[in-house]
Amino acid sequence: MLQSSTGGAGDGTATEDDRLVSIGTVLNLLREEFPEVTISKIRFLEAEGLVEPQRTSSGYRKFGAADVERLAQVLRMQRDHYLPLKVIRDHLEALGRGEQIQLPAPGGLRESAEGAPDGDADGPTASRVGRDELLAAAGITAEDLAEWESYGLLSALPEGGYDAEAVNVAGLVADLGRFGLEPRHLRAMKAAADRESGLIEQVVAPLRLNRNPQTRADADTTTKDLAALTVRLHAALVQTSLRVRLY
């Protein structure tokens, strides 16, 4: 829970729950738990109707403690459960009505039921869901999925089904579509991602071929670290480019 205090109750001063803060302050509050969040991300979530900050007479956004916590809820559902915004919105509306909601296990589709046999073709495993499950989780149609696959944005696993990242990608493509970005517009992003992953593989390949078992075991950790740094750099470069163009 994001909390802090600025004064005692009953002393006439504003408390954290009463005080309105700027979008920059919100960014700082969220970044401890969500280091990759940006102002553009917060504005995007506002544009999608997931948070509704107050506005000053000059048009500046002002957020209350409830707004900050709501944003944190949204970001957790995206990060921990791989939920698309449409599903997150439905969950928040249900919570607002006082209803109970059922979220996937933390880690989303990466987690499987304890003791489930590997490769069980009758249901989702730690790394696989069926086509219908993907459509339901991402809130998309079969026609959407077929189109996205034709552009190489998504693909089934060799053994059939889709992994958790496919669900994540499907949700993101759907969110971008609400801004008018079509699959053909996203091919450049896919090509860039392929180039970046190829670069990481070049760095990690010698580790995988090393005779030392520990070095080979460290290859997966190094891959994850490099992937995280690459994503952060990509996000920073995009933000830098947009600032240059817009300001």
Q: What CATH number is given to the structural domain containing 67? A: 1.10.1660.10
How far is residue 216's CA from residue 214's CA, in Å, rounded to a whole number?
A: 5
Top-confidence residue, 35 or 105: 35
CATH code of the domain in which 173 resides:
1.10.1660
- Judge whether 151 lies within some domain: yes
Over residues 166-174, mean pLDDT: 85
- Residues 32, 58, single domain; the answer is yes
- Residues 170, 194, single domain; the answer is no
Top-confidence residue, 7 or 167: 167
- Beta bridge partners of residue 55, listed in sequence order: 61
- Residues 108, 173, single domain; the answer is yes
How far is residue 124's CA from residue 133's CA, in Å, rounded to a whole number?
A: 8
Give residue 244's pLDDT band: very low, low, confident or very high (50, 70, 90). low
- Judge whether 2 lies within some domain: no
Taking 90 as the threshold, does the pLDDT of residue 30 lie above it?
Answer: yes
- Residues 177, 107, single domain; the answer is yes
Domain count, the chain: 3
- Judge whether 75 lies within some domain: yes
- Residues 174, 225, single domain; the answer is no
- Judge whether 27 lies within some domain: yes
- Residues 129, 190, single domain; the answer is no
- Judge whether 177 lies within some domain: yes
Give residue 52's pLDDT band: very low, low, confident or very high (50, 70, 90). very high
- Judge whether 40 lies within some domain: yes
- Residues 205, 243, single domain; the answer is yes
pTM comes to: 0.51
* Residues of the domain holding 69: 23-81
How far is residue 143's CA from residue 129's CA, in Å, rounded to a whole number?
A: 18
- Judge whether 16 lies within some domain: no
- Judge whether 7 lies within some domain: no
Top-confidence residue, 139 or 145: 145
CB-based contacts of 11: which residues, under 8 Å, 6+ apart?
Answer: none
